[in-house]
């Protein structure tokens, strides 16, 4: 839904709803989206943050299927302005863990799939609106073995940008890639993103590559790189990494890196490790998703790929160390019993956004509904989604 007159749109990501086939996705959209719309924005158009697996994306390339979907959007006052192209395959009901990053950006299949998503989005975007596609932050960090891996990833990012530039020339519609930093990935901190963009995406060699592939002049190629390549700043991920809200946004601004999409999500925060908090945390150790942990002790950060690794370091004695855990919890909650959430970080960022919009695309993304403890699922999914969207609007004074 549109917030005010400054071109900002707020939605939630449909990856909360299980479904890999197009028929499953389509059924979920019909079941949930109109209900949520009528709870938070009755009578007004409502935007969709659409997650498409490779399987459902391929199905939507069929002209008849696309035509039927566009009719559905029109009948229900819905529009699509952003796609989640992060999970390529299964995302619910089976082990996902580190496989969520596969194929990563070393693999030409990731490039093909993301190009396909762009082709679909260009057919769905309303006139005059920019589109965005969020994606994997290169690869899972332990999978990166050589510098050549990073070079290959950068080249495939650039080839996708060249595709988006050509797509805009043909269609008149602007789509931007939103690379999503995540703990324990090739790109996990803002500092790593700034370095990567400066050395690989905005470099003179990158500009020359874009010139070669698109025929643009040097200045136009450099401008197009900055317009079509940016970040999906997930606020759970940033808070887990102990980023400072003002400082990380300042560094991105200084580097000329756009926040193409702002994902509004909260993780878990344990201000101090105790036997009670550790016991309470065990209910969040599910077999489906990777729940990275970043520990801060004495000003030093230590990272763990998943909850069991972090919990194995605790000897049962209360210790003065803080944990932040990549487990998305409802953003309207802060008190979670023995621990809290990182909602404070969302509030800091949204306060900045009120003064100066950070991104035109705001997307709530609490995809862990199916593995949340039962106490956090009370009221049903439609009510929870609507409550999250309403909470964001209240924080923004919209």
For 165-197, the pLDDT digits (tens) are 999 999 999 999 999 999 999 999 999 999 999
Confidence at 305, pLDDT banded by 50, 70, 90: very high
Inter-CA distances, 25 with 4, 21, 44, 57, Å: 30, 6, 23, 10
Q: What is the dihedral sign for C-alpha 18, 21, 25, 26?
A: negative
Residue among 73, 69, 43, 44 at smallest CA distance from 57: 69
Question: Does residue 358 have a pLDDT over 90?
Answer: yes
Helix (H) or strand (E) holding 162: helix 147-171
Residue among 236, 230, 237 at smallest CA distance from 260: 230
Q: How far is 322 from 340, CA to CA, in rounded Å?
A: 11
From the number of C-beta atoms within 10 Å of its C-beta (0-12, 13-18, 19+), residue 300 rates as exposed
Residue given tokens 């390549």 in the structure block:
229
Dihedral class, residue 340 (left if φ above 0, else alpha if ψ from -120 to 50, else beta): beta
268: cis peptide before it, omega within 30°?
Answer: no
Q: Which two tokens stand for residue 119?
A: 């082709």
Angle at 367 between CA 124 and CA 311, to 5 degrees: 150
State the DSSP code for 77.
T
For 319-352, the DSSP string reads BS-EEEEEEEE-TT--B-SSSEESHHHHHHHHHH
Parallel, antiparallel or unpaired: strands 322-329 and 293-297: antiparallel
Question: Does residue 378 have a pLDDT over 80?
Answer: no
What integer best gives the mean pLDDT of the chain?
95
Note the pLDDT tens digit of each residue in 72-114: 999 999 999 999 999 999 988 889 899 999 999 999 999 999 9
R_g of the chain, CA atoms, integer Å: 20
Region 268-272 average pLDDT = 93
Q: How far is 239 from 109, CA to CA, in rounded Å?
A: 31
In the chain, the N- to C-terminal Cα span, in Å, equals: 11
CA atoms within 13 A on the CB side of 135: 28
pLDDT (0 to 100) of residue 281: 92
- Identify whether the C-beta of residue 22 lies closer than 8 Å to the C-beta of residue 65: yes
Question: Does residue 310 have a pLDDT over 80?
Answer: yes
Q: How far is 309 from 138, CA to CA, in rounded Å?
A: 23
Note the pLDDT tens digit of each residue in 17-67: 999 999 999 999 999 999 999 999 998 999 999 999 999 999 999 999 999
Instruction: Go through the domains of the chain in sequence order and give each one's CATH number.
Output: 2-266+342-396 (3.20.20.150)
For 54-75, the DSSP string reads HHHHHHHTSHHHHHHHHHHHHH
pTM of the complete model: 0.96
- Identify whether the C-beta of residue 181 lies closer than 8 Å to the C-beta of residue 192: yes
Q: How far is 349 from 65, CA to CA, in rounded Å?
A: 39
How many residues are present in the chain? 398
| 22-40 helix and 381-396 helix, angle to the nearest 10 degrees | 50
Question: Does residue 379 have a pLDDT over 80?
Answer: no
pLDDT (0 to 100) of residue 317: 60
Residue given tokens 């769905």 in the structure block:
124
Q: How far is 352 from 344, CA to CA, in rounded Å?
A: 13
């Amino acid at each position: 839904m549109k917030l005010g007159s400054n071109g900002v749109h707020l939605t939630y990501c449909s990856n909360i709803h299980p479904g890999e086939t197009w028929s499953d996705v389509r059924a979920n959209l019909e079941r949930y989206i109109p209900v949520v719309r009528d709870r938070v924005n009755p009578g007004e158009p409502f935007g969709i943050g659409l997650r498409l697996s490779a399987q459902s994306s391929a199905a939507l390339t069929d002209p008849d299927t696309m035509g039927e979907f566009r009719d559905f959007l029109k009948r229900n006052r819905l529009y699509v302005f952003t796609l989640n192209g992060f999970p390529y395959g299964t995302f619910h009901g089976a082990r996902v863990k580190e496989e969520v990053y596969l194929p990563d950006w070393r693999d030409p299949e990731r490039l093909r799939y993301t190009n396909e998503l762009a082709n679909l989005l260009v057919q769905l975007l309303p006139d005059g609106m920019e589109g965005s596609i969020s994606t994997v932050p290169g690869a899972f960090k332990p999978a990166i073995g050589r510098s050549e891996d990073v070079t290959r990833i950068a080249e495939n990012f650039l080839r996708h940008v060249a595709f988006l530039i050509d797509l805009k020339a043909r269609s008149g519609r602007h789509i931007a890639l939103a690379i999503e930093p995540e703990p324990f990935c090739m790109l996990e901190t803002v500092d790593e993103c700034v370095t990567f963009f400066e050395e690989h995406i905005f470099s003179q060699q990158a500009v020359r590559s874009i010139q070669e592939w698109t025929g643009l002049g040097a200045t136009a190629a450099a401008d197009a790189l900055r317009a079509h390549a940016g970040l999906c700043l997930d606020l759970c991920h940033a808070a887990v990494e102990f980023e400072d809200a003002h400082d990380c946004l300042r560094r991105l601004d200084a580097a000329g890196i756009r926040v193409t999409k702002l994902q509004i999500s909260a993780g878990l925060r344990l201000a101090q490790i105790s036997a009670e908090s550790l016991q309470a945390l065990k209910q969040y150790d599910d077999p489906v998703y990777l729940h990275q942990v970043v520990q801060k002790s004495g000003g030093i950060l230590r990272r763990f790929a998943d909850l069991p690794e972090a919990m194995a370091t605790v000897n049962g004695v209360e210790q003065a160390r803080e944990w932040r855990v990549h487990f998305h919890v409802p953003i309207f909650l802060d008190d979670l019993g023995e621990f809290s959430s990182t909602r404070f970080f969302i509030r800091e960022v949204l306060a900045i956004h009120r003064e100066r919009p950070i991104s035109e695309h705001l997307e709530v993304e609490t995809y862990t509904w199916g593995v949340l403890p039962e106490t956090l699922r009370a009221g049903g999914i439609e009510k929870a989604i609507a409550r999250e969207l309403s909470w964001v609007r209240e924080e923004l004074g919209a």
